[in-house]
């Protein structure tokens, strides 16, 4: 198919929370939106909202841990629109609490979705990204990738993995003209943190909403290429302070601050 003149964005975990807000933000800016999730009802209401506002969207079921589904959904999207300007790897899950109190299944679910889903998406999308001039990848990381977080141990570890993957592929894929970056919000008021009460949520609160992160994603992808490339984008005042402090703090001080904040 001849590529459309409109830019396109493919978003995972788009039925709710940050993914939904991101889909709405890009649709409002005139993008052709691919919105994918395992929540069919949520996708139906998202499609109705975007189309009701005059936007264009394609929705589909996607389990990000399934490599075959990734290939199918991307092939369908590319067949319709002929290009992939932005991939947003947003789908993720969180289980909070003492490490030994979280079930093995929950630990591995975080690894499979947060890390495996991101790896699957970037592998499946590579061909389409390299064929689209100026293509970009946005991975949803977290401020928990700054220093390992008590009561979020495995979740934090998955975000360290996303951070490392982002850094490596931003270098590897430069030759193909693909920009790779990640977003570092702290706690965001979505269903993911509903009912989560741990030391750091009590100390720091939940000060971001899904629209804050969606706007940050949108603005980051609209920015011009920098002379000094930037890969990590903290979202919100707290995350920006934490990220800046981590650049200059010795490890013992970072450990102490995280211990005090988490109450451990």
| Closest to 71 in 3D by CA, of 22, 109, 36 | 36
Residue 108 CB neighbour total at 10 angstroms: 12
Residue 255: both structure tokens together: 């450990």
For the four alpha carbons of 137, 140, 143 and 147, in that order, the dihedral sign comes to negative
Distance CA 123, CA 118 (A): 9
Q: Is 36 a catalytic residue?
A: no
Q: Report residue 109 CA to chain centroid gap.
A: 17
> Any idea what the Cα angle at residue 162 is, between residues 34 and 140, rounded to 5°?
40
Residues 6+ apart with CB under 8 A from 150: 198, 199, 200, 258, 259, 262, 264
Q: Of 31, 36, 128, 155, which residue is the catalytic one?
A: 155
- The residues annotated with a catalytic role in the active site are 155
């Amino acid at each position: 198919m001849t590529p459309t003149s409109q830019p396109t964005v493919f978003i995972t975990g788009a039925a709710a929370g940050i993914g939904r807000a991101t889909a709405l933000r890009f649709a409002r800016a005139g993008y052709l939106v691919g919105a994918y999730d395992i929540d069919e009802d949520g996708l139906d209401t998202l499609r109705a909202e975007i189309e009701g506002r005059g936007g264009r969207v394609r929705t589909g079921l996607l389990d990000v841990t399934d490599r075959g589904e990734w290939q199918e959904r991307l092939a369908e999207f590319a067949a319709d629109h002929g290009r992939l300007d932005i991939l947003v790897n947003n789908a993720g899950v969180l289980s909070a609490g003492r490490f030994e109190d979280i079930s093995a299944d929950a630990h591995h679910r975080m690894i499979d979705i947060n890390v495996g889903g991101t790896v699957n998406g970037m592998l499946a999308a590579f061909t389409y990204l390299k064929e689209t001039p100026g293509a970009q990848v946005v991975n949803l990381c977290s401020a928990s990738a700054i220093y390992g977080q008590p009561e979020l141990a495995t979740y934090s570890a998955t975000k360290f993995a996303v951070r490392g993957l982002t850094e490596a592929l931003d270098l590897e894929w430069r030759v193909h003209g693909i920009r790779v970056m990640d977003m570092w919000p702290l706690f965001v008021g979505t269903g993911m943190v509903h009912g989560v009460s741990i030391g750091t949520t009590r100390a720091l609160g939940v000060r971001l909403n899904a629209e804050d992160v969606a706007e940050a994603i949108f603005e980051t992808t609209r920015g011009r290429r920098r002379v000094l490339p930037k890969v990590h984008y903290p979202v919100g005042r707290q995350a920006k302070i934490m990220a800046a402090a981590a650049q200059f703090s010795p490890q013992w001080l970072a450990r102490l601050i995280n211990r005090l904040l988490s109450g451990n």
